[in-house]
Amino acid sequence: MNEDLTAEQGEVTALLCQEDELQDGQMREVEVEGQKVLLVRTEGRYGAVGSRCTHYNAPLVKGALVGNRVRCPFHGACFNVMTGDIEEFPGLDCLPSYKVKVEDGNVYISFNRKALKLSRRVKEMSSREPEVNHSTLLIGGGPAALLCAETLRRNSYQGRIVMVTKDALPPFDKPKLSKALNSESSQILLRSEDFFKQYGIEVWTQKEVVSVEPVDKVVRLSDGTVQPYDQLLISTGCRARSLGCPGQHLKGVKLLQTHQDAQDIHNSCQGQRAVIIGASFIGMEVASYLSNKAASVAMVGTTQYPFERSLGPEIGKMAMHMLEENNVKFYMKDRVLEIRGEDGKVKEVVLESGAVLQADVVVAGIGVVPNSDFLMGSQVQTDSRKAVVVDEFMKTNVPDIYGAGDVTSFPLPIRGGQRVQIGHWQMAHSHGRAAALNMLNKPTKMDSVPFFWTVLLGKSIRYAGFGEGYTEIIFKGKVEEGKFLAFYIKEQVVVAAASLMFDPAVSLIAELMSSGHQITKTQAQSEDLSWLKL
């Protein structure tokens, strides 16, 4: 790479390549003064942005490029390749972007040497102006509340923002809890204390809202105080469902909800006998994590295979074999009758089949319940599952009250507005952003494609779409060999996809769905997958 002439105002210009070296729709990672930059040619233009996703540093060159967006191959975050702005989640920060010009068949990049070393960029945000007499109250401390707060500030909102969370920590990376139970709290915080101070976002931890009174526009907290609001976001998430069997309150029976719970499970299972109840994503991730730490790990599930309802029996069987080869014993098509203890501490788990499992620790992962009890008497509508009902603008039925994240039931565009409740980390980000824009009278429909991932023994299964009610699965690759792409079919159309070791297939499918493209069963069946650009 040849460096150019000028370094006026600290800006350096360098030659990257010849114009014809990249075809339209191609990406390349190039090195500029020891830093990697993603160079993209799309829709007749060149763009250059940071090369690593700001969520978990995945190499974006391995992602899916559709139009002006690149989608991360790992967890589905999207960035505009011209501006570097984040357009889909998870993650909070934008990519740095650089000026590109084409002259005499050569492609040049202009950059500031200091800025070149930055791997992420926080979009410009306003702060609190005390004379602005308007307040937004966010109940819950997850990504929905955080994205709502940040989006308000990015759009020049200068009123008061207060986030109220029961948690001991400000917003943190919750998916990490079940995948790495011993994470230090400092490693999982999404934003620093200084960040919240800088942008005037008040975060109240270990505080709980006990009621909402829309007529007076106030909420009551468990400490007896009353907090007024002009606009309110309900983003309280869900809590782990308790076992509901005799012995569930014995010492050693645990639910995974908080950072402290994760630490407790990690510490109490070292060299001990662990029984995990519930063979879905949380249970399987905890079993995977404990497989080389506990003396024994037993898994109890009600279906024949783990994840059977969501991912299908083939993938469930493969995941089960993976864990069986690593110290995990499965008791499937079974359920817990009671947990027995000695001196108040768990000793064994009795199953319907008659099996008795020795246990020092029991971890329950049998589903979740929306945290909406505090809305009793508030007139805010909830459904039969207690989820808060919102429309496509994240509005509840009560003026100035919005909902976002796992606690909500919302219309999903890729399923024709079918009402769903989806507990995905990425979805909560999107909800929070949409809620904020609608609070600011910038009508914005929530139009994200669900994206999800799970990690077992260091291997990631990725999933995009909404597969509920699928009637058939079409596989590419071999599930039993741990390399596959699965298409979930309903009414001759692909409604979801899952993969292992098949990147960036799921990211590309998510982008196609996002742009309104319908993938047919015929395409999925075809031997020719050139439409997937793999």
Predicted pLDDT of residue 9: 55
pTM over the 0.85 mark: yes
- Region label for 236, one of left (φ > 0), alpha (ψ between -120 and 50) or beta (otherwise): alpha
CB 388 within 8 Å of CB 407: yes
User: Buried b vs exposed e over 373-397: b needs ≥16 C-beta within 10 Å?
Assistant: ebbeebebebeeebbbbbbbbbbbe
Entry field: residues in the chain: 534
Enumerate residues 6+ apart whose C-beta is below 8 A from 528: none
Q: What is the identity of the amino acid at 368?
A: V
Q: How far apart are CA 119 and CA 97, in angstroms?
A: 10
CATH number for the segment(s) 135-239+370-439: 3.50.50.60
Predicted pLDDT of residue 398: 98
Predicted pLDDT of residue 521: 97
- Region label for 10, one of left (φ > 0), alpha (ψ between -120 and 50) or beta (otherwise): left
Under CATH, to which class is 253-366 assigned?
alpha beta
What is the 8-class DSSP label of residue 450? P
Strand partners, 209: 221
Q: Phi then psi for 284, rounded to 5 degrees?
A: -70, -40
Q: Phi then psi for 326, rounded to 5 degrees?
A: -130, 50
CB 141 within 8 Å of CB 163: yes
CATH number for the segment(s) 458-532: 3.30.390.30
The parts of the chain modelled with pLDDT lower than 50 are 1-8
Domain residue spans of the chain: 8-116, 135-239+370-439, 253-366, 458-532
Predicted pLDDT of residue 528: 87
pLDDT tens digits, one per residue of 202-217: 999 999 999 999 999 9
Q: What fold is seen in the domain 8-116?
A: Rieske Iron-sulfur Protein (2.102.10)
Cis peptide bond upstream of 171, omega within 30 = no
* Within this chain, domains 135-239+370-439 and 253-366 share the same CATH topology: yes
User: Buried b vs exposed e over 188-219: b needs ≥16 C-beta within 10 Å?
Assistant: bbbbeeebbeebbbbbbeebbbebbebeebbb
